[in-house]
Structure 1
Amino acid sequence: MLIGIDPILTADLLHALKSMGHNDTIVIADRNFPASSLARRYLPLSGVDAPRVARAILSVMPLDEDPNPASAMTTAAADGRDAVTKELEQVVGQPISLLAPPDFYAEATKAYMIVQSGEPRFYGNLILRKGVLPPQ
């Protein structure tokens, strides 16, 4: 048992987050995303929605300071952002850049890991770019 670690952060996920370097990316995918066929490393978290997974990951992983450290898949909504995208933006705490589906899939294939959530909503997908820890 560890103190202060979100319980959905499994040992495998914590190991992956620790192993990632600056500028590596991790994808949080909805349950319909072809995660296992696209992933270099694949981890299912079936009972958890995408915003919850994002919140847990961001509790231990710094985002890059790049202007676009988080990306989502554009949706059919007028502004390209469905309710799930807006919820993910709230978790991230800043605007998320939008990628057309083919571009999102291409970026996902380059990711360090794809975590497949149980998110039932379409477009519940997010790419996070790891930042650096400040010197201590």
Structure 2
Amino acid sequence: MLKNIPKILSPELLKALCEMGHSDRLIISDGNFPCESIGKNSIVIRCDGHGTCEILDAILKIFPLDTYTEKSVNLMEVMKDDNIKTPIWKEYEKIVKKYDNRGKKTIGQIERFQFYKEAKDAYLIIATGEEALYANIMLQKGVVVE
């Protein structure tokens, strides 16, 4: 057991997060994301039974966001013809703001198929059981300065 590490972060997940370097990206995916096919060149860690918000909150407690890029957090943009609401994005904003003083300003959106393309280069994909649609979120790792 370790102190001050969120219990939701498994040893396998902690190892992968620790191995990531500056500018490496990770995806926290919803339950519909094709994590195994997209993540053929990535580490894929399953966190079924957990939602994206609780995983995001736990990760941001220990994971620095990149300050050398304007948008170190990116969401999968809703397709033009999809009439889908994304209330989970407001939750993401609150969580990001809690750990990064840029808050909403560091959150961007990437068109769906471009998001898939960029996700293929992610170091890590965390597959959750999140049921919200368009709940995929990409984080770019920064530098620890303390």
TM-score range, shorter chain: over 0.9
CA distance in 1, matches of 2:3, 2:24: 26
CA distance in 1, matches of 2:132, 2:72: 22
For the aligned residue pairs, the C-alpha RMSD in angstroms reads 1.8
The Cα shift of 1:81 comes to 6.8
Letter of the aligned partner of 1:19 in structure 2?
E
Letter of the aligned partner of 1:107 in structure 2?
E
Q: Answer whether contact 2:79 2:111 (CA < 8 A) is retained.
A: no
For residue 130 of structure 1, the aligned residue among 119, 130, 141 is 141
Letter of the aligned partner of 1:17 in structure 2?
L
For residue 51 of structure 2, the aligned residue among 29, 49, 52 is 49
The Cα shift of 1:76 comes to 5.4
**How many pairs are equivalent?**
134
Question: What is the TM-score normalised by the length of structure 2?
Answer: 0.86
Identity over aligned residues, as a percent? 35
Q: After superposition, where does 1:67-106 map in structure 2 within 5 Å? A: 67-75=70-78, 82-93=86-97, 94-95=103-104, 96-106=107-117
CA distance in 2, matches of 1:5, 1:30: 23
Q: Answer whether contact 1:72 1:97 (CA < 8 A) is retained.
A: yes
Q: Which runs of 4+ in 1 moved over 4 A?
A: none
Question: What is the TM-score normalised by the length of structure 1?
Answer: 0.92
Match of 1:121 in 2: 132
Aligned-partner SS, 1:88: helix
2:119 maps to 1:108: yes
Q: Answer whether contact 1:74 1:81 (CA < 8 A) is retained.
A: no
Match of 1:18 in 2: 18
Runs of 5+ unmatched residues, structure 2: 98-102
CA distance in 1, matches of 2:93, 2:111: 17
Aligned-partner SS, 2:120: helix
Aligned-partner SS, 1:110: coil
Instruction: Label 1:109 to 1:76 Cα distance change in 2 as closer, same or farther (>3 A).
Output: closer
Runs of 5+ unmatched residues, structure 1: none
